Amino acid sequence: MSAPTSPEPVQLVPGNTLLTKTPEEGRQLAVKMARLIIKATQPDAAVRERLRPIYAEDPAMLIAIGQTVAQEFATIAAANNYWR
């Protein structure tokens, strides 16, 4: 029932680089990297789908997701020397 449906290892860093052309792309990478950790921890797509409406309508969890993305983005921004 809750058996993993994607047993192949999840790629955790899309493109295998932290370098992006723009801050916008860096932010998108931060969002993706945050999601991929969730995916690696809960590989069952059906479970993740069931959890989605729970966190998407819970303000505390939405705020926590924002904190995760902020942390990932800090690293990506430093890697890109802040796109200065």
Site for its own copies in 65-84 (CB under 8 A): 65-75, 77-79, 82-84
- Please report how the helices 23-41 and 59-79 are oriented relative to each other, as an axis angle in degrees rounded to 10: 120
The upper half-sphere exposure of residue 28, i.e. CA atoms within 13 Å in the direction of its Cβ, equals 9
Of 34, 45, 46, 49, the one binding its own copies (CB under 8 A) is 34
Query: Does residue 32 bind its own copies (CB under 8 A)?
Result: no
The nearest distance, CB 76 to its own copies, in angstroms, is 9
Query: Does residue 8 bind its own copies (CB under 8 A)?
Result: no
Instruction: Give the integer Cα–Cα distance in Å for 27 and 31.
Output: 6
Determine whether 84 is exposed, middle or buried from the number of CB atoms within 10 Å of its CB (0-12, 13-18, 19+).
exposed
What are the residues binding its own copies (CB under 8 A)? 2, 11-13, 16-19, 22-24, 26-28, 31, 33-34, 37-38, 40-42, 47, 51, 53-75, 77-79, 82-84
